[in-house]
Amino acid sequence: MIDPDKPFFMYLALQAGHAPHLVPLEWADKYKGVFDEGYEAIREGILERQIELGLLPEGTVLSGINPHGEPERTGPDGQPWPMLDTVRPWDTLTDDEKRLFTRMAEVFAGYISYHDDRIGQVLDYLEASGELDNTIIVVISDNGASGEGGPNGSFNEWRFFNGVPDTTELTLAHIDELGTPASNNHYNTGWAWAFDTPFPYWKRWAGAEGGVSDMCIVSWPAQIDAQSEPRQQYVHAVDVVPTLYELLGIEPPEVLKGYTQNPIEGESFASALTDPKAPGRATQFYSMLGQRSIYHEGWLASTVHPPLSGWGSFEHDEWELFNLEVDRSQATNLADQEPERLERLKGLWFYNAGLYNGLPVDDRSALEQVLAERPHASPDRDQYVFYPDCSDVPESAGPHLPGRSYTIAAGLEVDSADAEGVLWAAGGIPGGHSLYVKDRKLRYTFNWIGTILQDVVSDVEITTGRHVFSAEFAAEGPNDDPAMPGTKGTLTLYVDDDAVGSAPLVTQPGNFCLTGDGISVGRDSASAVPPQYQSPFHFTGGRIDKVVVDVSGDRFLDHEAQV
């Protein structure tokens, strides 16, 4: 710290428990055998311990598997229930699938424990520095366990983001690599359901406690006498800031740097830290991806509307009603018994949505959202220019290549015939492409969603002097193979104006990554796109002036594949 006599603030945002679940395998191996019973049996044990610890009241029961009869349940106009949001019962799995899913849970448990140990390092420092007792610590998650792994889990979650289903056969072939840098792994929905015990569903479900209910741990030994005491008050993440303000005696400014501040929407729960009978938040509304719910004085009204399902207009939604005071796990729908209360809560949802900028309600499917015109910070362009030694450029800020022809051209001076290294790269092990020089030849590798490596190698060796090394993809249209969706075409390598190699190639339907593994020049900055080199594989033996990516060619728009 620059001034150790002043108060400090640290926001520690850990990767866990987001995918990929990468962890030193000795941490995962600590949990070998722990999950062998399967997620349904594990849920029973978790609930028993939750009740023993006082985290849930006596009499709490488990929510059922696939509680709305999915996948047979359909939308108001017969739309199918999304298979992504289903759980495969443990007793229907093969022995190999049980072995695979068990390993996914072991890896995730090790992953969480590893990060818990990192939090412990911070606490150890605070204790050693004498600041632990006088430091307010708030530990909170942002949502329930993630269901993006789907019913089969994933060796490479980026298949999900490219709309390519994972198969257990594919993941089984890589079971020993789960948790290693070679994977971009995610557990299946069965474990998401188990890790959200006793609630239904998972992240993205704004109407289910499994999507929005998280533990919150608060510690301040110097001012809070209670130690390891559970509290049952209903609070929300927006309540953390006003709570800290009250604890520290801070009045937030109404005007900051000349700008009038919006009112703080949260409510302090400081009194609950010292009084287990203090009132909690009375009302909270939720809305996400077509899901809606409202909590009010112990009751929860929520819609049956799978996220991003495109089921249709909101007037068709079925509303459910739960008394969370006696039914913490949403096991009993009371909509038929309490129709008047349900109608009041539905009206309260719209009132709060209007009050807190939740309107208009957006019911569009993912496809409709992609097709909608929206403003951009900069207009689309035909050419993008990148320079060496600059920071990585996020893929979202660069050229959008799926479904179109493109050319990647590197202008450079080659000083040695043994020059080698990356000219331009985007993505990494989970998927990406790279233009590089190795073994005196120009090469291009397209790593299709971490599954299929497509290599194009020049027929001739490079020579010294000033050159333009380029890769040109001529798109022909959507690929015919349903197992490999994307855009088919021909990739041709050029040295100056001479074609020096070509091969058929299929690009993937979507992007390579959300964050990390961006676009880099003169190196492959994170994980290596192909196994032919180890990152960063800096370009040596010459000097890159710039790389120009041209996307002015034909584009085949397959919106559904890109969604």
The burial of 465, by beta-carbon neighbours within 10 Å (0-12 exposed, 13-18 middle, 19 or more buried), is given as exposed
Note whether residue 272 is domain-resident. no
Residue among 538, 522, 542 at smallest CA distance from 415 = 542
What is the CATH classification number for the domain harbouring 53? 3.40.720.10
Per-residue tokens: 342:
């349900």
3-state SS track over 318-331: EEEEEECCCCCCCC
What is the CATH classification number for the domain harbouring 482? 2.60.120.200
Digit-coded pLDDT (tens) for 272-328: 999 999 999 999 999 998 899 999 999 999 999 998 887 777 888 999 999 999 999
Residue among 345, 285, 289, 297 at smallest CA distance from 319 = 345
Predicted confidence band of residue 559 (pLDDT cuts 50, 70, 90): low
Note whether residue 8 is domain-resident. yes
**Cα end-to-end distance, the chain, whole Å:** 46
The burial of 8, by beta-carbon neighbours within 10 Å (0-12 exposed, 13-18 middle, 19 or more buried), is given as exposed
Mean pLDDT score of the chain: 93
> CA-to-CA distance for 166 and 157, rounded, in angstroms?
9
Read off φ and ψ for residue 458, nearest 5 degrees. Answer: -65, 150
Note whether residue 101 is domain-resident. yes
> CA-to-CA distance for 70 and 20, rounded, in angstroms?
27
Instruction: Give 166 or 460, the one with higher predicted confidence.
Output: 460
Note whether residue 42 is domain-resident. yes
> CA-to-CA distance for 193 and 348, rounded, in angstroms?
29
437 touches 419 (CB < 8 A): yes
Per-residue tokens: 211:
């999507």
Residue among 407, 505, 514 at smallest CA distance from 453 = 505
Digit-coded pLDDT (tens) for 415-466: 999 999 999 999 999 999 999 999 999 999 999 999 999 999 999 999 999 9
Per-residue tokens: 237:
């993440």
Predicted confidence band of residue 563 (pLDDT cuts 50, 70, 90): very low
Q: Is 435 helix (H, G, I), strand (E, B) or coil?
A: strand
Residue among 347, 343, 490, 521 at smallest CA distance from 405 = 490
513 touches 525 (CB < 8 A): no
Note whether residue 296 is domain-resident. no
Read off φ and ψ for residue 169, nearest 5 degrees. Answer: -65, -45
What is the domain range of residue 555?
383-562
Note whether residue 544 is domain-resident. yes
Instruction: Tell whether the model's pLDDT for residue 367 goes beyond 80.
Output: no
Residue 227: the pLDDT is 87
- Sheet of 441-448, strand order: 452-457, 441-448, 431-438, 421-428, 520-521
The burial of 389, by beta-carbon neighbours within 10 Å (0-12 exposed, 13-18 middle, 19 or more buried), is given as exposed
| Identity at 542, one-letter amino acid code | G
Domain termination site, one of 202, 230, 258: 230
Give helix 39-52 / helix 95-128 axis angle, nearest 10°: 30
> CA-to-CA distance for 509 and 482, rounded, in angstroms?
12
Instruction: Give 374 or 484, the one with higher predicted confidence.
Output: 484
Note whether residue 421 is domain-resident. yes
Domain termination site, one of 172, 206, 230: 230
> CA-to-CA distance for 396 and 380, rounded, in angstroms?
12
Domain termination site, one of 230, 260, 275: 230
Note whether residue 436 is domain-resident. yes
Angle of CA points 107, 108, 112, to nearest 5°: 120
- Number of domains forming the structure of the chain: 2
Q: Determine which helix (DSSP H) or strand (DSSP E) holds 470, and give its type and residue range.
A: strand 465-478
The burial of 364, by beta-carbon neighbours within 10 Å (0-12 exposed, 13-18 middle, 19 or more buried), is given as middle
Digit-coded pLDDT (tens) for 530-550: 999 999 999 999 999 999 999
> CA-to-CA distance for 456 and 504, rounded, in angstroms?
9
> CA-to-CA distance for 202 and 212, rounded, in angstroms?
8
Mean pLDDT of 379-384: 86
- Report the chain's C-alpha Rg in angstroms: 27
Residue 558: the pLDDT is 57
496 touches 447 (CB < 8 A): no
Beta bridge partners of 433: 426, 446
